[in-house]
C-alpha cells in the first residue's frame, strides 16, 4: 500500500500572499494620502494608470504562459508593483510613463524570470530605472507642491497635462515644476553655494523638503505598522536608514558646508519609501537575519554614494537593484548555524 508523501512545508500558517500584499497596500495609504494632499490629484491618477496596466499585463502574461488567472490576479502582487512604481513617478508625468514602466516591470522584470517568487530584481524598481534612464526629462519634471505653488493646478488642468501634455493656459511647464530638494542641493553645490544657505530657503522644513518631509513621515508611519505586525523584517529598514544616516553624519561633521546632515537625507527623496516598502521585498532581498542587516546597510550606503557623488539626485532604486544582485551571496555567507552543528 502506498501513502502520499507531499513535499515540505508540512505545516501552514495563516499568512498568505494576498493578505501580506493587502497589508502592505494598506500601510501605503498614509503616504499616498500625504502625497495627494501636497502634490494634487495627479498622484491617484498615476496610481490608477500603473495599477491597471500592471494587472492587465499580469493577466496577459499568465494567459501566454498557460497559468491560471484567478489565483495570481487576486494575490495583489501586480497591484502592489504598480502602486510602488506610481508613487515614485512625478504626479504630472505623461500617462504613457506609468503605462510603459508598469508594463516593463511586470512583463520583463517579473514574468520573463518565471513570475512571482522567481524574479531576482524588484520589478517596480526595474521599471523605474528604465524610465529614469530612457525618459529623464519627463521623470524629473516634478510639480511644485501645493503649499509652495503660487497657483496650484486645478484637477482639470492636471488631467489635461497628464493625458494631453497641455500645460495650463499662459503657463509653461517650467512655471509649474520645480527641482526636488535633493536635486536643488546638488545643483547649488555645483554653483559653490553652501548647504546651510540652500536649506534656509522656504522650500525646506525642519527635517527635509517642506513637502517631502511630510510624505516621508507618512511612509515612516506605514512602515512602522508593518514592522510592528512583523509583516516585514526590521533589519532591512534599520540597516538602510542606519547606514544612510551614519554616512551623512560623518561627512556632515567633516564639512557641513558641502554635505547635508542625516535628517535631510532621511526625510528627502525615496529613503523612507525605499527602506520600508521596496528594499523589504521578500523575494529579492536577503532572507537571513544578519544578511538582512548587511543588505539594508548596502542599500543605504549605495544610496548615499549616488546622492553625493553619482549622476542622479536620488539613488534608492539603483541601490536596491545592485543589492538584489548581491542578496544570494550575502545569504550564502550569513546562514545561521544549524542546531547541533560544530563551528570550524
The pLDDT of residue 219 is 97
Cell of 96: 504613457
pLDDT of residue 142: 87
Cβ partners under 8 Å of residue 218, min gap 6: 30, 31, 33, 34, 35
Residue 83 in contact with residue 273, Cβ under 8 Å? no
Residue 6 has a pLDDT of 67
Q: From residue 151, how far is each of 143, 145, 147, 177 by CA, in Å? A: 11, 10, 10, 12
R_g of the chain computed on alpha carbons:
21
Distance CA 183, CA 187 (A): 6
pLDDT (tens digit per residue) in 73-86 = 889 999 999 999 99
Per-residue confidence (pLDDT) for residue 343, from 0 to 100: 59
Give the span between the Cα atoms of 236 and 224, in whole angstroms: 12
Single out the residue of 126, 132, 176 nearest to residue 150, CA to CA: 176
Question: What confidence score (pLDDT) does residue 174 get?
Answer: 67
pLDDT tens track for 84-112:
999 999 999 999 999 999 999 999 999 99
How far apart CA 95 and CA 75 sit, in angstroms, is 26
| Exposure on the CB side of residue 216, measured as CA atoms within 13 A | 23
Return the pLDDT at 14: 63
**Distance from C-alpha of 334 to C-alpha of 337, rounded to nearest angstrom:** 9
Report the pLDDT value the prediction gives residue 168, as an integer from 0 to 100: 72
pLDDT in tens, the chain (344 residues): 666 666 666 666 666 889 999 999 999 999 999 999 999 999 999 999 999 999 999 999 999 999 988 888 889 999 999 999 999 999 999 999 999 999 999 999 999 999 888 999 999 999 999 999 999 989 988 888 887 776 777 888 889 889 988 777 666 666 677 788 888 888 888 888 888 888 888 778 888 788 889 999 999 999 999 999 999 999 999 999 999 999 999 999 999 999 999 999 999 999 999 999 999 999 999 999 999 999 999 999 999 999 999 888 889 999 999 999 999 999 999 988 776 666 55
For residue 204, give the 3-state DSSP assignment: strand
Provide the phi-psi class of 167: left if phi over 0, else alpha when psi is between -120 and 50, else beta: beta
pTM: 0.90
Amino acid at each position: 500500500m502506498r501513502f502520499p508523501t507531499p513535499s515540505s512545508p508540512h505545516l501552514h500558517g495563516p499568512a498568505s500572499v494576498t493578505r501580506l500584499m493587502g497589508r502592505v497596500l494598506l500601510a501605503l495609504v498614509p503616504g499616498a494620502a500625504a502625497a495627494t494632499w501636497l502634490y494634487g490629484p495627479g498622484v491617484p491618477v498615476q496610481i490608477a494608470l500603473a495599477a491597471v496596466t500592471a494587472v492587465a499585463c499580469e493577466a496577459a502574461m499568465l494567459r501566454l504562459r498557460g497559468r491560471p488567472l484567478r489565483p495570481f490576479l487576486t494575490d495583489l502582487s501586480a497591484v502592489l508593483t504598480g502602486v510602488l512604481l506610481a508613487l515614485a513617478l512625478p504626479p504630472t508625468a505623461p500617462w504613457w510613463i506609468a503605462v510603459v514602466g508598469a508594463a516593463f516591470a511586470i512583463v520583463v522584470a517579473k514574468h520573463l524570470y518565471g513570475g512571482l517568487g522567481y524574479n531576482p530584481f524588484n520589478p517596480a524598481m526595474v521599471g523605474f530605472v528604465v524610465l529614469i534612464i530612457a525618459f529623464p526629462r519627463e521623470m524629473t519634471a516634478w510639480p511644485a507642491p501645493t503649499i509652495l505653488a503660487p497657483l496650484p493646478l486645478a484637477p482639470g488642468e492636471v488631467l489635461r497635462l497628464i493625458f494631453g501634455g497641455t500645460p495650463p493656459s499662459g503657463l509653461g511647464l517650467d512655471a509649474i515644476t520645480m527641482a526636488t530638494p535633493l536635486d536643488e542641493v546638488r545643483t547649488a553645490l555645483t554653483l559653490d553655494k553652501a548647504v546651510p544657505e540652500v536649506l534656509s530657503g522656504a522650500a525646506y522644513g525642519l527635517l527635509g523638503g517642506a513637502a517631502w518631509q511630510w510624505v516621508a513621515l507618512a511612509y515612516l508611519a506605514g512602515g512602522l505598522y508593518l514592522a510592528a505586525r512583523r509583516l516585514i523584517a526590521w533589519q532591512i529598514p534599520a540597516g538602510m536608514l542606519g547606514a544612510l544616516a551614519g554616512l551623512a553624519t560623518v561627512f556632515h561633521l567633516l564639512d557641513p558646508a558641502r554635505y547635508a546632515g542625516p535628517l535631510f537625507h532621511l526625510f528627502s527623496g525615496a529613503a523612507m519609501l525605499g527602506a520600508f516598502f521596496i528594499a523589504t521585498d521578500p523575494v529579492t532581498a536577503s532572507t537571513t537575519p544578519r544578511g538582512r542587516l548587511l543588505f539594508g546597510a548596502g542599500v543605504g550606503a549605495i544610496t548615499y554614494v549616488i546622492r553625493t557623488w553619482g549622476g542622479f539626485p536620488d539613488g534608492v532604486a539603483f541601490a536596491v537593484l545592485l543589492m538584489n544582485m548581491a542578496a544570494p551571496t550575502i545569504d550564502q555567507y550569513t546562514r545561521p548555524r544549524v542546531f547541533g552543528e560544530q563551528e570550524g
